[in-house]
Amino acid sequence: MKRKVRIFWIVFLSAFGSFLLVIIFCMMGIFGKLPSLKELENPSILQSSEVYATDGTLMGKFYRERGNRSNANYRDISPHVIHALVATEDERFYNHSGIDVKSTMRAVFLFGKEGGGSTITQQLAKALLAQGSRNRAWRVIEKFKEYIVAIRLERNFTKEEIISLYLNAVPYGDNVYGIKMAARTFFQKEPDRLNAVEAAVLVGMLKGNYIYNPRVHYKASFDRKNIVIGQMEKNKYITAAEASKFKTAPIVLNYKKLDENTGYAPYFREVLRNEVDEALKGLTRSDGEPYNIYDDGLKIYTTINPKMQQYAEEAQAQQMPILQRALNNQRNIKTGSVWKTHENVLEAAMKNSDRWKNLKQDGLTDAQIKKNFQQKVNMKIFAWNAKRETDTVMTPMDSIKYHRQMVQSAFMVMDPVTGEVRAWVGGINFKTWKLDHANLRTKRQVGSTIKPLLYTQAMEERGLTPESMVEDVQQSFGKDQLVPATGKTCTGRTVTMASALAWSRNCATAYIMKQVGAAQFANFMERLNIPTKLEPYPSIALGSSDLSLFEMMWGYSIFGGQGFSTKPNFIVRVEDRNGNVIKRFDYGANRKEAVSEVTAYKMTKMMEGPVTKGTAAGLMQALGAKEMAGKTGTTNDNSDFWFIGFTPQLLAGVWVGCDDRFIRIENNSFYGGTAARPIWQSFFKKVFDDKTLGIDRNAEFIKPADLENEINNADMMRIIDEPQPVDEEWGNSADDYSLDTSYRIPAESKPPADDEKKDGTNIKKDGNNNNKKDTTKKTPKIGQAPPPDEKKEKKGIFRKIFGKKENEDQQ
């Protein structure tokens, strides 16, 4: 008997000693570092960074795998969720100190047949430690670490704080983490609005977030929901009658997952990501680690106005199908001859595609892959419809051609004085094309939009005025340098400088360049802070250089900005997850006086010519604006269309063109005033009509105090002569070209699945993203507004997508 007692104590003490040894080793960090007390008091759960607009609207998020979460406070979580969690996961939660001995012993002796023994606190510890090894021996070690952390959590947090930490940390499937994101993703609700059934569904998913995911396994999720309801009844959180009702209730999902393609201004958010990363370099968290935009739950406040962003995208979507139809109607597009001398472009695009890379990994030869690219398959392609996509059958090579033949566009809106960007549209569809055509690095030939900057220097440094007479004749700059290259469009007349600008006279502009000097103009552009260095060739006067829309907006800021060049800016401040300001952005240093206020005002008045009588004739009248200025631009062979214009309160610029410059609209009725200007016009009509934005039609440009001779509209119109043929950028005026209301394509931006104001209140929206109900005609075939007498459709993939009438004339 004594021997048996001795053996018992030896086994017991050995086990107990081993237990203590493992605990000591865990606490020493031999099996992995445990979080310190300070880290437990400020747990660093991965949390997505959130982007906010000027009015507090959530625009989107930056996150990585396991990081798509937004934390919710205990008071912001529905009691149904808390009751369901406690009843299902830890019935004695309020009675233990982190470890439920009874449950633990039951799990040990029954080998987990009646459930595990982990408390909510232990499960939180597991989430914080990112544990869950499948190796049983190592999992035992992990359990000990969880016991230690659970006890520490209980000693440093209230029960309510532990519940909120747990619900914010755990995964709910579909790469959704935290109760806030789960409620928004599966039910489009804030967590405090969840009812008992919805709470039971989400809590039920914690046992297996894929197996019990209602989106993919409805029956399993329904059954699991009823188990949770039963536990809530058992623990007297609901009555038997309520339980019976909830068990028969169906799961009504309203599923919408947030990703990089959803939310407001997706192109802008990509630019913002890089800007924030750069701005936070050298700044560190309290633990000395650098900030991470994906993990640290930053709050990024921007200058974007959600309504202006929506109006900008709607204006683009209204015009682009018209331009696409014109391009698709060309013979070289119909026959594919546009690609005859550009097979290298297709070859490069093919080899850069995911399909090529995947087939290469599968061991196929180049010849086999090329053959694969000629075989028709089912696919989704971009189309100008409400969803911006359609199902079709085509070869992968035809898909490459199709998407490269899409006409692209960029649109930016900013405050001309402060430089604050209000809207940013970098392309026609972020999901399909990631290239941002509005940013600093994407440059295109600017055409005649550069002329106002040359004229400004001529006024500032050479003493020219709007009334100065200039010669509209071909100019020689020596060594056989003739500008323009051909003098066919020169009238040989002497005209006022105001007329030369209004009618975009190339020859007269070359004359002005001769007065200024090519090197001097290149230096002037540098003084405006334009990053791209222009080569001092005389042809830059006509816009032969490549500049970005971002840079052109920067340059044009001198007009509405009373002579100051202001870099476009878009970040107000960045806060950490606790609301502490990490960095506040002061853009005062980005403003630089470039010309006198008087010169800027005179140029502004002179730029009213193009929007009243010149290449954008009737624009100011059509919008009913008291004062407005702008300039069109068109490059050689219609590769690029531009319009940049401004009112006293807003500056906006539009670029239109194809990514491959050899693909262009050959219809001569299109130029800057008919291709790009309609987008600008449609946007400003919406902005003027929306009184909540405070953009006034009757606003006037500020007159400088030292202006000697006041310039009024009548005087400016008097010195602009009657219409003359306008070099390369002239066509029939189309005052109402953008106002075709026979169809509507919504903005690309959609509110994120978790759309809310920063103060936590939901944004009230109607069914059309805050728009008035659409009462226009039913959307016709994809991408166009066909005439009412359409009788037959042309066969072929482009006709199927755009529904173009076979015998319809080009417009």
The DSSP secondary-structure symbol of 261 reads T
The DSSP secondary-structure symbol of 522 reads H
User: What integer is the mean pLDDT of 683-696?
Assistant: 97
pLDDT tens digits for range 139-160: 666 766 777 778 888 888 889 9
Q: What pLDDT, on a 0 to 100 scale, did the predictor assign at position 734?
A: 33
Q: Where on the phi/psi map is residue 288: left (φ > 0), alpha (ψ -120 to 50), or beta?
A: left
Residues 553/644, Cβ–Cβ less than 8 Å: yes
pLDDT tens digits for range 700-712: 999 998 887 766 6
% the chain with pLDDT above 70: 78
Beta bridge partners of 299: 50, 575
Instruction: Report how far residue 455's alpha carbon sits from residue 629's, in angstroms, rounded to the nearest whole number.
Output: 14
User: What integer is the mean pLDDT of 727-733?
Assistant: 41
Q: Whole-structure pTM over 0.95, yes or no? A: no
pLDDT tens digits for range 362-393: 899 999 999 999 999 999 999 999 889 999 99
* Average pLDDT of the residues of the chain: 83
108 versus 417: which is more confidently predicted?
Answer: 417
Residues 178/168, Cβ–Cβ less than 8 Å: yes
* Burial of residue 504, with CB atoms counted within 10 A of its CB: 0-12 exposed, 13-18 middle, 19 or more buried: buried
pLDDT tens digits for range 602-625: 999 999 999 999 999 999 999 999
Residues 457/524, Cβ–Cβ less than 8 Å: yes
Report the run of H or E that residue 629 belongs to, with start and end: strand 629-634
780 preceded by cis ω (within 30°)?
Answer: no
The answer to whether the Cα torsion of 388, 392, 396, 398 is positive or negative is negative
Say yes or no to pLDDT of 747 above 90.
no
Say yes or no to pLDDT of 808 above 50.
no
Residues 511/483, Cβ–Cβ less than 8 Å: no
Q: Which residue has the tokens 């009657």?
A: 722
For 347, 350, 477, 738, the CA distances from 344, given in Å and listed in that order, are 5, 10, 37, 36
Q: What pLDDT, on a 0 to 100 scale, did the predictor assign at position 742?
A: 42
Q: What pLDDT, on a 0 to 100 scale, did the predictor assign at position 543?
A: 94
Reported as a pLDDT band with limits 50, 70 and 90, residue 653 is very high
User: What integer is the mean pLDDT of 429-455?
Assistant: 96
Length of the chain: 811
DSSP3 helix / strand / coil % (the chain, rounded to 5): 45, 15, 45
The answer to whether the Cα torsion of 62, 64, 68, 70 is positive or negative is negative
Reported as a pLDDT band with limits 50, 70 and 90, residue 103 is low
pLDDT tens digits for range 258-268: 666 678 999 99
Amino acid at 620: M
Least Cα distance to 172 among 129, 131, 211, 139 occurs for 211
Q: What pLDDT, on a 0 to 100 scale, did the predictor assign at position 767?
A: 35
Q: What pLDDT, on a 0 to 100 scale, did the predictor assign at position 667?
A: 87
User: What integer is the mean pLDDT of 349-366?
Assistant: 92
Say yes or no to pLDDT of 177 above 80.
yes
User: What integer is the mean pLDDT of 585-600?
Assistant: 89
User: What integer is the mean pLDDT of 343-367?
Assistant: 93
* 240-248 helix and 218-234 helix, angle to the nearest 10 degrees: 180
Residues 67/48, Cβ–Cβ less than 8 Å: yes
Q: What pLDDT, on a 0 to 100 scale, did the predictor assign at position 35?
A: 64
Reported as a pLDDT band with limits 50, 70 and 90, residue 403 is very high
Say yes or no to pLDDT of 627 above 80.
yes
Reported as a pLDDT band with limits 50, 70 and 90, residue 803 is very low
Report the run of H or E that residue 99 belongs to, with start and end: none
Q: What pLDDT, on a 0 to 100 scale, did the predictor assign at position 32?
A: 62
Q: What pLDDT, on a 0 to 100 scale, did the predictor assign at position 608?
A: 95
Which residues lie below 8 Å from residue 141, measured CB to CB, with a gap of 6+?
A: 22, 26, 31
Reported as a pLDDT band with limits 50, 70 and 90, residue 540 is very high
CA 125 to chain centre: 36
